[in-house]
Amino acid sequence: MQSKESIFSLLSEIPDPEIPVISIVELGVIRDVIISGNDIEVIITPTYSGCPAMKQMEDDVRKKMQEQGFENIKITTVYNPAWTTDWLSEEAKLKLQKYGIAPPEESTTDKSFLTGKLKHVTCPRCKSKNTVMISQFGSTACKALYKCNECLEVFDYFKCI
Amino acid sequence: MTSQEALYNYTLRLGDTSLILAQRLSEWTGHGPFLEEDLALTNIALDIFGRGKSLLEYAAKLEGKGRTEDDLAFFRNDREYFNALITEQPNGDYAKTIIRQAIIDCFDLLFYAELAKVKDTTLAGIAEKSLKEIAYHKRHSFSWVNRFGNGTEESLTRLQNGLNEIWPFAGELFEMNEVDAVLLKEGIAVDLNVLKPIWEKEVTQLFAKANLTIPEGSYAHTGSRRALHSEHLSYILAEMQSIPRMHPNAKW
């Protein structure tokens, strides 16, 4: 029988369908795995309520688990506790930055996302802090659109929620 | 009315309100005034669709007749829908869409903050999740109300016209019936009477900053709690449901 750790490491091989440089485990959507004999239950939580990639993630998880010989694969969606960008590892944030997406700059505990008084967002290309928000809503639900005033690069920012 | 029946109806009311608003907002897809706003509105619609899906999924489970969220969305008629009337009103121009959204976002942020504390853990979980998203939506709609209100004579006129049209539908958001009464006793529903003065204060402040005048008269359209709607809902459903009804078992 496989251990929970080995299942987690297998799931780490599944890339996020929209941001393929990080895995769905690094993203923090896999909350738990319950193994009993040939049955497995994977508990996931959506990043955003309407994230269209969730179905793809479920299919990918199902496929991966089928390859491991599990017979009954159950995928359960939970909403509580709600997903937060605080669950992104430092390593994942670094990968995002290299990929050209500015990672969330601060912890959600300071509630800056509610007031909109974000201190600064660093340009992933030239690392300048002289950047400006173009739109609160970007190419996917989890991102906002920014522009760097130094190198003029337009980039995605992974919103803190 | 048993508390189970009340909870089913309450969840349906919330789910339908989200679904129909999202369907309306998504009409802007490809028609936004410029690219960033097109993306913003569709992102907001997507969040609200997601909330509607979670709520209808739960409603289907509460009903216990083996229906899914898709069955509820695509195979009910207008007289079985409980969405608030304000959500089915036509989008109008961008100013009207924005003022409707600001009114609803302000209500939703207050409402879902309270719903996150109710004794039903599924509803509370969905509410907790939605809260963070609604905070973003509200920032967006409030900032545009401010910009339109303090922009040009034209933008202010359009915003005021939008408010005049949509305002008589806002009061219904606070209507309570037997469903609320049953659930309030169990600690599952939100007391809308408590929210109303807080909401009024917030929107009044917003309108003042945006040079808007609240239309005179206190008449409020009502009906959705009894599944009575304006003519617009039937047209929305016709468009939304035609494909699943034509091909009921289609998979994709």
The encoded tokens of residue B34 equal 């410029």
How close is the nearest chain A Cα to the Cα of B174, in Å?
24
So what's the pLDDT on residue A118? Answer: 60
Q: Of the given ranges (A1-5, B90-94, B125-129), which has the lowest mean pLDDT?
A: A1-5
Residue of chain B nearest A144, judged by CA positions: B40
Supply the DSSP string of A86-100, one letter for each residue.
GGS-HHHHHHHHHHT
How close is the nearest chain A Cα to the Cα of B185, in Å?
24
Please judge whether A82 and B46 are an interchain contact, meaning their C-beta atoms are less than 8 angstroms apart.
no
- Per-residue pLDDT averaged across B205-227, rounded? 95
Q: Of all residues in chain B, what percent carry a pLDDT higher than 70?
A: 100
Q: What does the buried/exposed string (b/e) look like for B153-178 if buried means 16 or more CB atoms within 10 Å of the residue's CB?
A: eebbebbbebbbbbbbbbbbbbbeee
Please give the residue that has the higher pLDDT: either A52 or B165: B165
- Per-residue pLDDT averaged across B18-38, rounded? 95
Binning pLDDT at 50, 70 and 90, where does residue A135 land? Answer: confident
* Interface predicted TM-score of the whole assembly (ipTM), two decimals: 0.80
Instruction: Name beta bridge partners: A41.
Output: A34, A74
How close is the nearest chain A Cα to the Cα of B144, in Å?
12
Strands A131-135 and A143-148 turn out to be antiparallel
Please judge whether B48 and A50 are an interchain contact, meaning their C-beta atoms are less than 8 angstroms apart.
yes
Binning pLDDT at 50, 70 and 90, where does residue B31 land? Answer: very high
Q: How far apart are CA B183 and CA B196, in angstroms?
A: 19
Closest CA to B59 of B22, B31, B17, B28: B17
- Residues A79-121 pLDDT 10s: 888 898 889 888 899 999 999 999 988 665 545 555 555 668 9
B 7-66 residues with CB < 8 A to A: 36-37, 39-40, 43-44, 46-51, 53-54
Is the Cβ of B115 closer than 8 Å to some Cβ of chain A?
no
Q: How far apart are CA B71 and CA B73, in angstroms?
A: 6
Segment of A11-25, B26-40, B199-213 carrying the highest mean pLDDT: B199-213
Mark residue A46 as left, alpha or beta (left: phi above 0; alpha: psi -120 to 50; beta: remaining): beta
Closest residue to B139, CB basis, from A49, A52, A116:
A116
- Per-residue pLDDT averaged across B156-166, rounded? 98
Contact call for residues A134 and A154 (beta carbons, < 8 A): yes
The HSE-up count of residue B41 (CA atoms within 13 Å, CB side) is: 25
Q: How far apart are CA B124 and CA A139, in angstroms?
A: 29
Segment of A44-48, A110-114, A152-156, B87-91 carrying the highest mean pLDDT: B87-91
